Amino acid sequence: MASLPPGGTAGADSNQLLVEANGSTRTLIMNRPKQLNALSSAMIMGLLRCFTAYEKDDGVKLLIMKGKGRAFCAGGDVAAVVRSINNGSWKYGADFFRNEFLLNYIIATYSKPQVSLLAGIVMGGGAGVSLHGRFRVATENTVFAMPETGLGLFPDIGASYFLSRLPGFYGEYVALTGARLDGAEMHVCGLATHFVQLNRLPLLEQSLKKVDTSNPFAVCGIIDQFSHQPSLKENSSLNRLEIINKCFSKRTVEEIISALEQEASNSADEWVAATIQSLKKASPTSLKISLRSIREGRTQTIGECLRREYRMVCHVMRGDFSRDFFEGCRAILVDKDRNPMWMPPRLEQVHDEAVEQYFSRIDDPQWEDLNLTARRSHGRNIESKL
């Protein structure tokens, strides 16, 4: 194992991120397998140091990202964030998300190719450290989701950028329902650039470690040798794009649910009923701010999306209108009774003025907007195979 670039944390946290050096390739390994590689503050700071140092280092041409164990990364360690806020101030959470979003921005604008090997679970913050990169390799055991509306949060980490660029209104469907996608679905909708069988990933990794170029076409050519076009399962949500576009194109969450209920009355499709159930279990506040976030993301740059999402997440942590984030974490991650008591409990109680608040600056003299220096975008593409 190579050492992390200077400025690292000492002690127990220092082995949460491992680095392997092979010629001009660096492999970054998220190493909290018991926590499904949930991103801690130490891991985020370690990744920031690596990406910053390797971009300037002419001896590094390619980065590989992977997770130890059965997950790539199940998200940010929001339970730790909530504990810290409860013990101190919402500003601890603000610092956590500021650093995480800065990392997402650097990855999205990185000048060298990054190959993320998405074996296992890829959720929330795990999507943030991978899907903004140049190459995203899914497998038959990949499970992707943005489950935030069920936690009283919203799809953050720049998700309003990449979800809003999926085919039709599929991004709204994925964002609001927290639907799980498999590797084939990720590939077909464009979230993954390649699909490689799990048993071939080690061979792909070996080939990539011999690379001595930052030319994305050369790197893509290597991955292409191991990849193939997967088939969608019959019950895939992508086979229901017509219904998704018809319903999730509606202006409000209430109208989306009403359209789905109309579909349910005309059809015995269990998928429609399950989709309605997912929406009715989610936080009403989260659903409304998430829908607006995706809609705004369609016309914004990645930097603009992250700046807006940072405002939103600071409002969520302050809990001025709703404390659903704390209740969701209690019900899903701490007590695990899976029975959150949302406040307000109904969609019609979440008024437009309340939603508007989440998109405004924070009224605190010590708070600052997310300041992202201008960096050149390197043409990240969400290319649907449909």
Q: What is the pLDDT of residue 9?
A: 47
Q: Do the domain assignments include residue 227?
A: yes
Residue 282 pLDDT greater than 70, yes or no: yes
- 150 pLDDT band, cuts 50/70/90, is very high
Of the chain, the percentage scoring pLDDT greater than 90 comes to 87
**Band of pLDDT at residue 322, cut at 50, 70 and 90:** very high
Mean pLDDT of the chain: 94
How large is the average pLDDT for residues 80-97?
88
Bond preceding residue 344 cis, omega within 30 of 0: yes
342 falls within a domain? yes
Binned at pLDDT 50, 70 and 90, residue 217 comes out as very high
Q: Region 359-370: what's the mean pLDDT?
A: 93
Q: What is the reported pLDDT for 380?
A: 63
Whether 251 is covered by a domain: the verdict is: yes
- Distance between CA 155 and CA 287 in Å, rounded? 10
| Cα–Cα distance measured from residue 377 to residue 112, given in angstroms and rounded to the nearest whole number | 11
pLDDT for res 379: 58
The predicted pLDDT at position 378 comes to: 64
Q: Is residue 27 part of a domain?
A: yes
Residue 99's pLDDT is 97
Q: Is residue 363 part of a domain?
A: no
Structurally, how many domains does the chain consist of?
1
What positions carry a catalytic annotation?
76, 125, 148, 156
Q: Which strands form 71-73's sheet, in the order they lie side by side?
A: 71-73, 121-123, 143-145, 181-182
With beta carbons less than 8 A apart as the criterion, state whether 163 and 294 touch.
yes
pTM: 0.96
CATH of the domain at 255: 3.90.226.10
Q: Are 137 and 227 a contacting pair, CB within 8 Å?
A: yes
In a domain, 380, yes or no: no
What confidence tier does 19 reach under pLDDT thresholds 50, 70, 90? very high
10: confidence class by pLDDT, cuts 50, 70, 90: very low
Please, are residues 74 and 124 in contact by the beta-carbon 8 Å criterion? Answer: yes
Q: Quickly state the pLDDT bin for 376 (edges 50, 70, 90).
A: confident
pLDDT at 8 over 70: no
Segments forming the whole domain that contains residue 90: 17-358
- Answer yes or no: are the C-beta atoms of 142 and 183 closer than 8 Å: yes
The answer to which of 189-193, 239-243, 382-386 has the lowest mean pLDDT is 382-386
- Give the strand pairing for 121-123 and 181-182: unpaired
Lowest model confidence (mean pLDDT) among 74-78, 174-178, 276-280 = 74-78
Band (12; pLDDT cuts 50, 70, 90)? low
Residue 374 in any domain: the answer is: no
Q: What is the pLDDT of residues 90-116, one digit of tens each?
A: 888 999 999 999 999 999 999 999 999
Please state the rounded mean pLDDT for residues 181-194. Answer: 98
The pLDDT score that the predictor gives to residue 7 is 63
The reply to whether 339 falls in a domain is yes
Q: Tell me the average pLDDT across 163-180.
A: 98
